[in-house]
Homo-oligomer: A and B are copies of this chain.
Amino acid sequence: MRYSKTRPPAFTLSAGPVDAYPEVLRGMGTTVLYDFDPAFLHVYEGVARKAQTAMDMNEPPVILHGEPVLGLEAAAASLIAREDVVLNLASGVYGKGFGYWATRYASRVDEIETDYDDAIDPGAVAEHLKKHPETAVVSVVHHDTPSGTLNDINAIGQVVADAGALLIVDAVSSWAGMETSPAACQAGIYITGPNKCLGCPPGLTMAAVSDAAWEKMEANKDAPFASMLSFTDWKNAWKASEPFPFTPSVAEINGLDTALDRYLEEGPEAVWERHALTAAATRDGVRAMGVDIWPKREEIASPTCTAVRMPDGVDAGPVLAEARARYGVSMSAGRAETLGKLIRIGHMGPTAQPAYALVAVAALGGALQALGTNADIAAGLGAVQARMDQGL
C-alpha cells in the first residue's frame, strides 16, 4: 500500500506547521466581526488576558499579525539601535539566522557559536559579556527547531541580566510544550507563537516585552513605526478602548482564543507532561532501533521535537519520502545546515501523545529498512512501550 503524494498524509508528525487541535480549527471558523465592533474589541482584550495568564506575565503580551518570524525580525528592527553591539548565540540554524537580522541593524555583532548538535554554555556567555561590557543586546533561541536542541535560557538570562544587557529570546517552538516563561529567563523580548505547542495554525506572534525593552525601543529613533515590523504600534492595541493600527487577523485571533481556553483548561503541567513523555518515548525508541538522536546529550533534547541523526551515508530526503509513501506519516526535514542530515519528529500540541511515538518510530525504522539500512524496529517499538508504561 502506497500513500498518494497529492492527498493529505494519514499522520502529520511535523515540527510545524503542526496538525492543529480540532477545536482550534472550529474556533477559526467563528463569525468574523468588524475589528472596531465593541464585541470584537471585547474578545481581543479577553484573548490578550488569557495569553497573559498562559505566559505567566503581569501584562498582556503584544500580538503581532504574522507568524513568529515577523516577531523576530521586528524585535531585531525595534530593539537594536544603530550604535548597538549585539551578542548572538548560535547553536543551530535559527540562532545563526537571527545573526543576519542583528547584523542589519547593529553596529557590531559578536557571535558565540557551537556545533549544531550542542548547546550554548552560559559560562561562555558570562565570560564574553565581561570582556565586552559594551554589549547591549544578546539574542538566543530556546529550542533551535532544526536541531531539536534546547539552550538553557534561564541560566543565560541570569548572566545577561547581571551584565545589564537585554535578551531577545526565540521561544517559538518550546513555549506551551514545556515550562518556560518570559519572567523565568528575564527576557527583554520573548517571542513565541500559537502555531507550535499551542496547536494553532501559523499566522500570529505573541511577544513579551519588558519595561526596559520598551524604553530602549521607544528611545530608538530607527525603530519601525507605522510598519508591519513595529512593536510600538501594537503596544496598547490589546485594550478594548484603543484602536488597532492595522487590521488584525481576526480568524487567527479566534483560533488563539480557543487554543488558550483549551490549554488553560487541560492545565499547562498536564500538557507539558505529555509533550515530555512523547519525546522521551520517541528517543528511547529511536535509540533502541540502533539509530542515534541528533542532540549530543539527552538533557539538551527538546521535549517538543526529536531530531533523529541519519546513519552515515543516509540522506534524510528519501527516508522522509519513503515513510510518507509507505505509512502515510509526514515528518519534518532539517533546514539549511541540518538538511539531509536529520529527520524531525514533532511533538507539539495534538501530536504530543505518547502513542504517536509508536507511529513515528515505526515509520522511521520501516523507511530506513526499506532503503537498506538496518533498524531493529521491534526493539524500537518495545522501548517506546516501556517508556510509555514507565512514565517520565
Contacts and interface: CB of A to CB of B under 8 A. Distances in A.
Contacts of A388: 326-327, 362, 366
A27 B322 CA distance: 29
Contacts of A70: 66, 228
A354 interface: yes
Interface string A264-301: 00100000011001000000000000000000000000
A389 interface: yes
A67 B17 contact: no
A336 B372 CA distance: 49
A9 interface: yes
A226 interface: yes
A96 to B, nearest CB: 12
B5 A33 contact: no
A381 B358 contact: yes
A67 B65 contact: yes
Given A249-B67, A359-B359, A362-B355, A12 B26 contact: no
A32 B9 contact: no
Contacts of A69: 228, 246-247
A228 B73 contact: yes
B19 A32 contact: yes
Interface in A46-84: 65-67, 69-70, 73-74
Contacts of A32: 12, 17-20, 25, 201
A9 B274 CA distance: 13
Given A7-B266, A326-B389, A28 B25 contact: yes
B39 A9 contact: yes
Contacts of A273: 1
A203 B252 contact: yes
Most buried by B among A29, A32, A37, A66: A32
B11 A34 contact: no
Given A10-B353, A20-B32, A362-B385, A37 B247 contact: no
Nearest to A36: B333
A255 interface: yes
A28 B30 CA distance: 10
Given A42-B6, A358-B381, A381-B385, A330 B203 contact: no
Given A25-B28, A31-B22, A389-B326, A201 B249 contact: yes
A318 interface: no
Contact of A7 (B11, B17, B39, B246): B39
A135 interface: no
A378 interface: yes
B6 A19 contact: no
Contact of A10 (B11, B29, B355, B385): B355
Given A1-B277, A100-B226, 18 more contacts: A1-B354, A14-B37, A17-B33, A22-B25, A23-B30, A25-B31, A25-B251, A28-B28, A29-B29, A38-B324, A66-B66, A69-B247, A101-B226, A201-B249, A251-B251, A251-B252, A358-B381, A377-B381
Interface of A: 1, 4-12, 14, 16-20, 22-23, 25-39, 42, 65-67, 69-70, 73-74, 100-101, 195, 201-203, 226-229, 246-252, 255, 266, 273-274, 277, 324, 326-330, 332-333, 353-355, 358-359, 362-363, 365-366, 369-370, 377-379, 381-382, 384-385, 388-389, 391-392
Q: Which 4 A-B pairs have the closest CB atoms?
A: A378-B382, A14-B34, A381-B381, A201-B251
